[in-house]
A and B are shown apart, each in its own frame.
Chain A
């Protein structure tokens, strides 16, 4: 094979490449992308653009296809090569181009969304991709929309308050659940994304806690971090034991019921719960004890009557209870449920929450995510409110009793509280930053007060000891 040179084609490509890169070089800072040099490197420039607008994977595919299609475009088979070689080359070029076009369309559609322009700009892009890039890059009229989520690692630290200083005053307890989450990040190709930051909690045993927050505020991410499934830069202590350091043991002491009913439909209810118990309970537990534990949980959740029926034949509410029973059967110290009432009517939902309250009353910690909290709020001891700040990072906006939450947010309902931290685009009040900062200041003040009180008490104790000694 040999590389054949077509001067016109190369010249056209070079001009297009230069103009596109120039436009991108000006656009990347607008998109808060620091490595501007990438705009000048074929392949990498698409990776940079993709990553800057949260389409890292598309950017990488596009970059690779860009390079491969250019290679196959200029690489012509030698004259004596057979027809099959030429056919294979044409076929590969077409495949590369098809993938490139599809992924470029995806990236550009996202770019139109980020820049707040009409999708019809894509027509311009298809004929001369450098033109919209130059316009977006050089014109000051075109700026990224503020409401579009752009993962920005610098913005993650720009919350109005230094939350790292704020700690829960009651956080020194060795019993219950103690959480010190510094950050939870995810790597998206070239970009580090902050999902959660600065969350500090201390939940006493026997509490039933409501986890509130709008979509994308990081509720499930926090739960996954708490149970050690997706580790964060954090310390999570459950009754004094580090969940992360001792995960292999602790995972049996934590029950997590996911949002979907992840249960096999073609097995009986009794077998499903019994198998879950056999899998999760320690091997030393005798058959008789295990059997009575299974029966107890089935009774508690009202599953005994239909235990010989297939799971798939049960109603949504019953399947939800089976899913709960599978975790509850091991008697977990920490029990977390992600929307246990989704798809259930009010009566059944209330019934499930009442059962959970009974579980909490046995000294366990129950944390529940629900989108309809007001019908069951009387059953909860504490409320955690997560909010997404202006840097699109999930943060702690409040932790306290439901009544304290109502006072703090100035709202009568839990749904009202969620609306106050939701962004305006989501129909909320967009007060997340303000409330996060206020809560941080409040907890910092309480921590300071607690420290002073502690010091005063220590000094008093020393004085008393001195007096007694004299």
Chain B
């Protein structure tokens, strides 16, 4: 008997994409946008003032923005597959293609992440974050930043999608998620001094590449460093031979207007080659995020393909 043709990859992807888009309206998925806005608002309120202004503020702000993106991405899809695993098995038995199902999720999540990136940038603008004027890859700094934020959000989203495809229930997914978040935060290499093996595994984190990229776009290496000045300021009342030499130096520098030169000079000693504001560095960071995204997608695809192997 001749085999009848059933709906192929593209048609099935369309069916599921339509379903997910309807669910965006009917389900609470639309809520991720206002929630993302609230999170971005809180973060920019705390760290937004000095981002792209000083090296310390840029590092802290970039890290916070990366955290916001990873958080958004993780929460978008950590439960999407596992919560309907039984339904997926039923549909897989009835002819569903694993690739179509995953592709529909990826397109839907792509749109969701795009929306969240837009919201985050909007909130940053409203909080009067000083975006870099000139871009390094594109002519606009905000566009470079937007692409980075999107890639970080989307890669995190794909990672969560992979976890959701691997685990069998939402409880396990929500148990795994904090570990992944901690891993991303600790191994980003931004705040904790990593050595040896720990340093080598940071390449597996989304946060590392995201942080590098934002710092590059923000021209971290060209920004002033304030930590040294602040430290000197703290010790200004120390007396030596009946005098306060540090206070005197501070007054002198403020009077002659060389403070900013000092900050800039201090910044030159705090440069990080990974934050170089050159197209190659940023493209490498974006490329790494894309590679991670591809790996997560392949693992998710394999997991969904073998969904029938679940035992009762």
Contact = CB atoms under 8 A, between A and B. Distances in A.
B27 A266 contact: yes
Contacts of A266: 22-23, 26-27
A282 interface: yes
Q: Is the interface of B mostly helix, strand, loop or mixed?
A: helix
Interface stretch (B7-15, B139-147, B184-192, B215-223): B7-15
Contacts of B12: 279
A137 to B, nearest CB: 32
B96 A279 contact: yes
Given A267-B22, A267-B23, A260 B94 contact: no
Contacts of A271: 18-19, 22
Contacts, number: 75
A284 B15 contact: no
Contact of B93 (A241, A256, A267): A256
A263 B87 contact: yes
A83 B91 CA distance: 54
A280 B93 contact: no
A19 B219 CA distance: 71
Given A258-B86, A276-B94, A279-B7, 20 more contacts: A220-B312, A246-B1, A249-B3, A251-B94, A258-B90, A260-B86, A262-B86, A264-B19, A266-B27, A267-B22, A275-B19, A278-B15, A279-B12, A279-B15, A279-B94, A279-B96, A281-B6, A283-B4, A283-B5, A327-B94
A17 interface: no
B95 A278 contact: no
B254 interface: no
Interface in A335-376: none
A271 B93 CA distance: 20
Given A279-B91, A282-B4, A310 B19 contact: no
Contact of A267 (B11, B19, B86, B95): B19
Contacts of A278: 7, 11, 15
Q: Which bucket holds chain A's interface residue count?
A: 20 to 34
Interface string A247-263: 01101100010101011
8 contacts: A249-B3, A256-B93, A266-B27, A267-B26, A271-B18, A278-B11, A279-B15, A280-B95
A278 B96 CA distance: 11
B23 A251 contact: no
Nearest to A229: B93
B87 A264 contact: yes
Nearest to A310: B26
A310 B312 CA distance: 29
Interface of A: 220, 227, 229, 241, 246, 248-249, 251-252, 256, 258, 260, 262-264, 266-268, 271, 275-276, 278-284, 310, 327
A275 B96 CA distance: 11
A249 B8 contact: no
Contacts of B26: 266-268, 310
A88 B7 CA distance: 54
B308 interface: yes
B93 to A, nearest CB: 6
B19 to A, nearest CB: 6
B90 A262 contact: yes
B94 A280 contact: yes
Interface string B13-36: 001001100110011000000000
Contacts of B11: 278, 283
B7 A283 contact: yes
Contacts of A283: 4-8, 11
B84 interface: yes
Contacts of A252: 4, 6, 94-95
A127 to B, nearest CB: 33
Interface string B83-126: 01011011101111000000000000000000000000000000
A249 B93 CA distance: 12
A59 to B, nearest CB: 17
Contacts of B3: 248-249
Nearest to B94: A280
Nearest to A227: B93
A258 B89 CA distance: 11
Contacts of B7: 278-279, 283
A282 B93 contact: no
Given A251-B95, A267-B19, A283-B11, A262 B6 contact: no
Contacts of A267: 19, 22-23, 26
Contacts of A258: 86, 90
A264 B5 contact: no
Given A220-B312, A249-B1, A279-B12, A264 B23 contact: yes
Contacts of A256: 93
A276 B12 CA distance: 11
Given A267-B26, A275-B15, A280 B90 contact: no
Interface in B256-312: 308, 312
Contacts of B96: 279
B5 A282 contact: yes
Contact of A282 (B6, B19, B23, B94): B6
B4 A249 contact: yes
Contacts of A264: 19, 23, 84, 87
Contacts of B19: 264, 267, 271, 275
A234 to B, nearest CB: 18
User: Of B87, B90, B96, which is in contact with the most chain A CB atoms at under 10 Å from its CB?
Assistant: B90
Nearest to A263: B87
